[in-house]
Amino acid sequence: MDDVFEQLWQHYLDSCFLLSQPLSASSPFAIITAYNPLGQVLEPCQNRLRDRALQCDIEQLRVPYRMIIGAATDLSHMEKSWALFISKTQATALAKKYQQNAFYYVDAGVLSLIPCLAGDRQQVIGDFSQHVRIVSELPEICD
In a domain, 140, yes or no: no
In a domain, 73, yes or no: yes
Q: What is the pLDDT of residues 50-95, one digit of tens each?
A: 999 999 999 999 999 999 999 999 999 999 999 999 999 999 999 9
- Per the DSSP assignment, residues forming a β-bridge with 29 are 106
**Burial state string for 1-24 with b = 16 or more CB within 10 A and e = fewer than 16:** eeeebeebbeebeebbbbbeeebe
Instruction: Pick the more confident residue, 141 or 38.
Output: 38
Domain that holds residue 73: 3-134
Q: How confident is the model at residue 1 (pLDDT cuts 50, 70, 90)?
A: low
In a domain, 67, yes or no: yes
The whole-angstrom separation of Cα 82 and Cα 132 is 14
The whole-angstrom separation of Cα 51 and Cα 35 is 7
Q: What is the pLDDT of residues 18-27, one digit of tens each?
A: 999 999 878 9
- CA 42 from chain centre, in angstroms, equals 16
Q: What is the pLDDT of residue 90?
A: 97
Q: Is the pLDDT reported for residue 142 higher than 70?
A: no
Q: What is the pLDDT of residue 124?
A: 97
Instruction: Pick the more confident residue, 137 or 121.
Output: 137
In a domain, 143, yes or no: no
Average pLDDT, the chain: 93
In a domain, 139, yes or no: no
- Percent of the chain scored above 90 by pLDDT? 78
Q: What is the pLDDT of residue 141?
A: 79
Q: How confident is the model at residue 143 (pLDDT cuts 50, 70, 90)?
A: low
User: Please, which residues have CB within 8 angstroms of residue 40's CB and are 6 or more apart in sequence?
Assistant: none
Rg of the chain, C-alpha, whole Å: 14
In a domain, 141, yes or no: no
- Structurally, the chain folds into a number of domains equal to 1
The whole-angstrom separation of Cα 68 and Cα 80 is 6
pTM of the model: 0.94
